[in-house]
Chain A
Amino acid sequence: EAGVAQSPRYKIIEKRQSVAFWCNPISGHATLYWYQQILGQGPKLLIQFQNNGVVDDSQLPKDRFSAERLKGVDSTLKIQPAKLEDSAVYLCASSLVWTGKNIQYFGAGTRLSVL
């Protein structure tokens, strides 16, 4: 079974530029999550999708971050414009159903450096 795929693995941009990350979840997983992990901290949920609907985006900085999940499969996370404090690893995760024990499976992440 293929895992969660993310691209790119690394991205370096200057502040005020825009950037986009892509995620392909495990086949059949209805729930998809985007996390931000700043160095030295645990992952923090940015947004959660159930199929292509948003379940929780309470911690998404909506003035600069946006995310979509078209057709309930792949998802993209965009930052526009980027700030220095957005430097982090962006992790995508998926889970089989939004019920039960909520075991989430993570991709390798995209490491973003904003200069």
Chain B
Amino acid sequence: DQQVKQNSPSLSVQEGRISILNCDYTNSMFDYFLWYKKYPAEGPTFLISISSIKDKNEDGRFTVFLNKSAKHLSLHIVPSQPGDSAVYFCAASARRGTSYGKLTFGQGTILTVHP
């Protein structure tokens, strides 16, 4: 049961253009979402997150949008740089009392930014 899905295995973008990575979820209990970036031979690193009380969160070149009714979130990278080339994972968690439970990850999207 894949509760978090990234339906695009890969994305190729020209340097300077916008990269849009998409993620869909099925569990309506999820209320906190994160994006992680992973380079080869390294562990995932936290990029940006969003709570379900918001529909947008911005950090520099990275913006995450959340559409709760559609159970969809997206990560926008503007402008894209060659150093952004990596695997991007979407993750979600559900509140357990006053804290959050485990992260459920999507399958990842390989982003390639061409110079």
Contact = CB atoms under 8 A, between A and B. Distances in A.
Interface residues of B, number: 27
B103 interface: yes
A108 B40 CA distance: 9
Contacts of B101: 56, 102
B105 A42 contact: yes
- B interface secondary structure, majority: strand
B45 interface: yes
Contact of B44 (A45, A97, A101, A106): A106
A105 B102 contact: no
Interface string A80-115: 000000000001010001111111111111000000
Contacts of B91: 42
B45 to A, nearest CB: 7
Given A42-B4, A98-B99, A103 B107 contact: no
A108 B43 CA distance: 4
A48 interface: yes
A33 B102 CA distance: 9
B49 A99 contact: no
Interface in B58-115: 89, 91, 93, 98-108
B43 A106 contact: yes
B45 A106 contact: yes
Given A42-B89, A108-B41, A101 B107 contact: no
Interface string B4-21: 101000000000000000
Interface string A29-56: 0000100000011111100100000001
B46 to A, nearest CB: 5
B43 A102 contact: no
A29 B100 CA distance: 15
A64 B115 CA distance: 47
Given A106-B45, A108-B42, 4 more contacts: A42-B108, A43-B89, A103-B46, A108-B41
